[in-house]
Each structure stands twice: as C-alpha cells, then as structure tokens.
Structure 1
C-alpha cells in the first residue's frame, strides 16, 4: 500500500467519522463557541469538547495497544495497513462512545454525570492522539511503551482519579467502591 493511498484512506476515515458524528447530532465544536488546545476540568460541560483534555492520554494508550496487538496478529501487513486498521477501530470507538446508549452508560456507571458526549473536533483529535501512540509504539522499545502506559495511567489516576483501565472497568463492571473513590469519598 502506497503512502498516498494510506493518506487518502486515513483522510476518508476522518471525514466519514466526522460526517457520522454530525449526523448523530454531535456538535462540531464546543457549545461555548471556541476551541481550546487544552481543557483541564473534568467536571465541566466543556470536558471532551476541545482538542485535548485529561482523557487524551487514554487515546495515546489506544495507539500503543493497537500497535502491539496488530504487530502480534497482523505483522505480515504493512505498517500503513496496520495504521488504517487501528484508525478504523479508533473511529468506530469514537462513534460508539457518542451514541446515546454509551453516553447514558457513562453517566449511570461512572462519576461522569455531566458528560454529554464529545464534540466532533475532540473525537478527531482523539484519533490523532491514537496516531501519536501508534507512532510512539513503532519508535520506542517495548519496555519504554510499557513505561509510558504506566506513567500515563498513573498521572491521570493521580490527577483525576480516572484513566483508561478504570474507564473500561467502570463501563463493563461498575464497582461502587471505585465510583465512591473517584468521587472523592474514599472507598479504596
């Protein structure tokens, strides 16, 4: 697969993702009317509305994971083909994550009571964060990718009591003790 073809496929995935999200009623940008590079408040109507936020590291980790899994199961495919597959998976997640069912699940099972879904610009930036993680995994030795994963999870758990692993746990199997701890009421 040529570099040009990969670029065209990646652009098509981004455009299709944006079109689907807009058709689902997602706002293109924050309802506040502007786009920030960083929004650091998790309990805020602007969370997941700007380019980056405390959940951006989890999308970088998606890239690390996708690179590793695809290296294990599809290493005969070109790097570009694996990036396209990873992008399709990440785009599918961004679409699924912004369905009413998943938004309601977040609100019911986690402390994200004010979560109303991502803006389109945030979803596309999340895909870009996954690309960064994929690129880092390609460049870094395995031990450094593992260290980056542990560091990113540790930082987000420290600062916002959440991260990729806690997010997955609370979506699949919510634990009241974790929810209480995340809300700052102790429990763990």
Structure 2
C-alpha cells in the first residue's frame, strides 16, 4: 500500500499529493512574502535543535515542538474521520494540510508572535523560519498517515507519551501551549519559567 502500483502513495491518491504539495508551496511563498526568513539566520540547517529556549528554536527541521505537530496530524485525522468519513483519505489529508498551513501562517503573524511573547514564557520567540514551518507541516502529515494506519489505542498512547515527554523535558507541550495562548495562568507560567 506504500508503493505506486495502484496509483497511491501511503494510501493517498497521487492527485491528492499534488494538491498537498501545491498547498505547501503556496504556504511557503506566503510566509516569504510576510518576511519570514527561509532558514535560521545562523546560516545553517540542523536536523534537530534541542534547546527549546535558544535562538535556533523554531528555525531548524525539528525541535521539542515537533511532537506537537505529529499530534496535530493525529487530531486532524480523527476530526476528518469523524466528519468526512465517506471522503477519500487524500481529501481528508488535503483538508488537514489546509488547517495546518493556515495555522503556520497565523502563527507567524505579528499578532500571534506578540501573543506568544506576552502570554507564554516564549519571550524570545520571533516566529518560525519557512523551513521550520514546512517541516512542521510535514510532521503533521506523518502524524495523519500514522493515525490512518495505527490502532486508535496506539495513536492515543503515542500522543499522551509525546505530551508527557515534552512536559517533563521542556515544561511545555501542545496542551499547555493552547492553554497559555487562550487562557494564560500565572501558576503555569511560573512553573514553565523554571525550565528556561
């Protein structure tokens, strides 16, 4: 099912992949027009950047926030399996990619960057590089495809494990990120500040 013999790649028809890549390209172009840097201003690209509070965070291919984007894929798969179950896997992947890319653009607007800096401990957050945004979208796609193949219990176990791991290591995760953006709590901010 991962080959091209049936006109599908990872269970998704090729025409849907073309639409996904077009959405990614349009998103990258939009981010560039918005003034986002293509790659880290440090001048190099790392496969992994492990300092969640360093200047290279959200600038390279992966970091401690990468698991959040895999979880986006899990959640988007579940959402569209629920509301668009009769539609093809490719159509649901396209919708998921639109959602993820919409977030990547919104996340890199001055309004959201300022919100991160005011409401969370991300005082030095200045937005993502285009490379990082595209990588985040790629990890969402990986999460979506994993959710399409794995038993629900395994997907839930992975999501909870990712959330616990990142909470323990960097005192942040998808749940806390959403909470602090929507309803910042001083107690959470103080606890998170202990990691920086």
Aligned counterpart in structure 2 of residue 12 of structure 1, from 5, 9, 22: 22
Alignment of 1:1-188 (within 5 A): 3-184=13-194
| Structure 2 CA distance for aligned equivalents of residues 168 and 25 of structure 1 | 25
TM-score calculated relative to the size of structure 2: 0.92
Q: Could you list the runs of 5+ residues in structure 2 that have no partner in the other structure?
A: 1-6
| Structure 2 CA distance for aligned equivalents of residues 63 and 4 of structure 1 | 19
Q: CA deviation at 1:4?
A: 2.7
| Structure 2 CA distance for aligned equivalents of residues 146 and 8 of structure 1 | 29
Q: CA deviation at 1:158?
A: 0.4
Q: Could you list the runs of 5+ residues in structure 1 that have no partner in the other structure?
A: none
Deviation track 1:47-106 (CA, whole Å, cap 9, x = no partner) reads 100000000000000000000011011001100000000000000000000000000000
Deviation track 1:150-170 (CA, whole Å, cap 9, x = no partner) reads 100000000000000000000
**3-state SS of paired residue (2:169):** helix
| Structure 1 CA distance for aligned equivalents of residues 56 and 186 of structure 2 | 26
TM-score calculated relative to the size of structure 1: 0.96
| Structure 1 CA distance for aligned equivalents of residues 156 and 21 of structure 2 | 29
- RMSD value, Cα: 1.2
**3-state SS of paired residue (2:43):** coil
Q: CA deviation at 1:7?
A: 1.7
| Structure 1 CA distance for aligned equivalents of residues 143 and 22 of structure 2 | 20
